[in-house]
Copies of this chain bind each other. A is one copy, B any other.
Amino acid sequence: MVDTEHRLRRSDGHRVRLAARHGELARPTAGLAQGFVQANLVILPERDAMAFLRFCQANPRPCPLLAVSEPGERHIDGVGIDLDIARDLPRYRLFRDGEAVSEPLDVADLWRDDLVSFVLGCSFTFEHALIADGIPLRHVTLGRNVAMYHTDIPLQAAGPFEGDMVVSMRPLRPADAIRAIQICTRYPQVHGAPIHLAFPEAIGIRDLAAPDYGDPVPIESDEIPVFWACGVTPQRALERARLPFAITHSPGHMLVTDMHDTQLALL
């Protein structure tokens, strides 16, 4: 497995997907196929898909849509050659009545002709751009998950989907925060610019040391907390909607696409 991972780091999206499809990869995708866009996945029956599509359209910062499939289709134009969305992720999460009930390696046996797949941008893309620019990210340096928090920033509701925004937080020195805003502005399809900085309480966060998801990271005295809209937002809205049936990627086990990270840059 270690050899496979080493090989897949310098690989491309197609090879990572084939490894996942053939049972050679069942671990998180961070660091694999470097330079290729990794994405969040949501799969819903057509009866719920229209409301979710409206929800994403109305809340693009936490829910940036990269692609939506035709109902029943396991291939999605532009996402990846030879894509089988039901088998090409390392691990999925199955929800029934809003509860996560299993984490299968593929969902081919659960496939139905009415399922619609949503591919959503992920913070990996802008994090790669920040690191490539020389901006250190504390959670990456420490080998932790990014710290994420519930806020009181309301989302625009659509059908059963509603709630407040979840944000990720990265502590940065002021000059790096300014540069990060510039870089992330170029990437609206992966959450775009930060939505807030400094003053956690202004968006309803009481204690930065106690994130609601992920791991806490220390904030130095010359740093400010910088907050981005987070891809956990749609996952949480999905759970709150208590749909009879839904599938997502398992956290960290992303859809690795054929798109290059830089292709998502506005300019």
Chain A residues with CB under 8 Å of chain B are 174-175, 177-178, 181-182, 185, 193-199, 202, 222, 224, 267
Q: What chain B residues lie within 8 Å of A197 (beta carbons)?
A: 174, 177-178, 197, 224
Interface of A is mostly: mixed
- Closest Cβ–Cβ distance, residue A171 to chain B (whole Å): 12
Question: Contact at B222–A199, with CB atoms within 8 Å?
Answer: yes
Question: Contact at A198–B174, with CB atoms within 8 Å?
Answer: yes
For this chain, the copies found in one complex come to 2
Q: What chain B residues lie within 8 Å of A175 (beta carbons)?
A: 195-196
Residue contacts A-B, CB under 8 angstroms, 24 given: A174-B196, A174-B197, A174-B199, A174-B202, A175-B195, A175-B196, A177-B197, A178-B181, A178-B193, A178-B194, A178-B195, A178-B196, A178-B197, A181-B182, A182-B182, A182-B185, A182-B193, A197-B197, A197-B224, A198-B198, A198-B224, A199-B222, A199-B224, A267-B267
Q: What chain B residues lie within 8 Å of A194 (beta carbons)?
A: 178
- Closest Cβ–Cβ distance, residue A187 to chain B (whole Å): 13
Complex Cα gap A196–B197 (Å): 13
Complex Cα gap A195–B181 (Å): 12
Complex Cα gap A193–B185 (Å): 13
- Closest Cβ–Cβ distance, residue A80 to chain B (whole Å): 31
Given A182-B181, A182-B185, A185-B185: A222 and B202 within 8 A (CB)? yes
Complex Cα gap A27–B8 (Å): 68
Q: What chain B residues lie within 8 Å of A224 (beta carbons)?
A: 197-199
- Closest Cβ–Cβ distance, residue A184 to chain B (whole Å): 10
Complex Cα gap A32–B28 (Å): 60
Complex Cα gap A198–B198 (Å): 8
Complex Cα gap A222–B197 (Å): 11
Q: What chain B residues lie within 8 Å of A199 (beta carbons)?
A: 174, 222, 224
List 15 additional A-B contacts (Cβ < 8 Å) besides A174-B198, A202-B222. Answer: A174-B196, A174-B197, A175-B195, A175-B196, A178-B193, A178-B196, A178-B197, A181-B181, A182-B182, A182-B185, A182-B193, A197-B197, A198-B198, A199-B224, A267-B267
